[in-house]
Structure 1
């Protein structure tokens, strides 16, 4: 219990009196330092076409985020849609549950052995999720999982005062990694509108077509987006 409270306290201190644009980066740093994990990624509206990346702690986190963003399945999407934690402690065994996610992640980042995902609750509704990736087989030990759950609650509380800016800002925030954030925040939404207009179809269908193209060519959704906006 002491460790759980300590990590939650660290998160509160790290984000206290912090400019809104700095909050996601500080959260990622605090979670990465405070838990026995190898990558942390956090997003809003995770299980919707309006998904917005908040932070990715390193390259492993970026790949984990890109794969789930592209194939629209995986632990963080399930955590956001169900409101329950998801513990994928044996990724090969999870292939039946998320076949596209497991195959793509194994190809791009085979070092990931386990992923723990927690919903970000904002009052009575889930506004996103946070992922913790581990190289160690089995993922985090039980006590660390409890710490992570408490940390996810503290992270959601830290984000709550900034939610209006997070969801309504017309421009993507200056968060890092800026190229990935830009792709998730605005570029993909612009590309979806372009495809919808060209194909005379709905936004949802346009996004599905882009995801299918990305998966069929072994590319990320961000790369497909760049092609569309550059054409």
Structure 2
């Protein structure tokens, strides 16, 4: 099924239109993407390919979109991260296929427990620089025939976010919704990374790897492990994780 061009044009105008309440922008972007494309879930994240921790979830269409983006934050691998690192779309018609398992083994292992069977991720980029990703998820396997339409939608989402970023600080110097999203996304994790980095006298990248590894081995979320570190119930020393 090809999306009607008039409908697509209306969707694009809706995406880039001024939003009275900027904090509603992520929800509007996700809702518009769902209407424009034959997908079941969507997530919009800000990230840098060289940023420890992966990225910041700005918005999701529901539990599926939120779960897919959160998994990549927690595991440090996945299609959104790859799309930003490579600066090009990542199209996976069958997420349980061997090539996907080889590329993102931990991510695919976790996706098996969800209803997602296909995913299509598009970098949000200005020129050669990617600063985020639009992740589209579907419950049935198979290719996305509307790739060109998806690319156009991703460009519109990029424009909308760049417009919002330009207005990030208001005239009084207060933090905007965009800054708040970055600060408030998994706050315990970011604080814990700094603490573990100090405990190990290591880089923040290594500290993040250690946190992620422990969370994955013990079947706990990264936020839970981060909260334990911040509350001083856990600390890292050498090769061992010790109770405080």
- Tell me the TM-score normalized by structure 1: 0.84
Number of positions where the alignment pairs a residue of Structure 1 with one of Structure 2: 223
Identify if the C-alpha distance between structure 1 residues 40 and 200 changes in structure 2 by more than 3 Å, giving closer, same or farther. same
Identify if the C-alpha distance between structure 1 residues 215 and 87 changes in structure 2 by more than 3 Å, giving closer, same or farther. same
Find out whether 1:209 has 2:210 as its counterpart. yes
Give the corresponding residue for 1:49.
Answer: 52
Q: Distance in 2 between matches of 1:129 and 1:145?
A: 15
Q: How far did 1:75 drift?
A: 0.9
**Which ranges in structure 1 are unaligned for 5 or more consecutive residues?**
none
SS in 2 for 1:118: strand
1:92 paired residue among 96, 100, 118: 96
1:61 paired residue among 59, 65, 70: 65
CA contact (8 A) 1:53 1:181 kept: no
Over the residues paired in the alignment, what is the CA RMSD in angstroms? 2.9
Q: Distance in 2 between matches of 1:61 and 1:133?
A: 7
CA contact (8 A) 2:41 2:138 kept: yes
Give the corresponding residue for 1:80.
Answer: 84
Q: Which has the higher helix share?
A: 1
1:2-13 correspondence runs (5 A): 3-4=4-5, 6-13=7-14
1:103 paired residue among 95, 100, 109: 109
Identify if the C-alpha distance between structure 1 residues 146 and 193 changes in structure 2 by more than 3 Å, giving closer, same or farther. same
Q: How far did 1:226 drift?
A: 2.4
Q: Distance in 1 between matches of 2:83 and 2:231?
A: 34
TM-superposition CA deviations, 1:35-56 (whole Å, max 9, x none): 2111101111153225111112
Between structure 1 and structure 2, the one with the greater Rg is 2
- Tell me the TM-score normalized by structure 2: 0.80
**Which ranges in structure 2 are unaligned for 5 or more consecutive residues?**
233-244
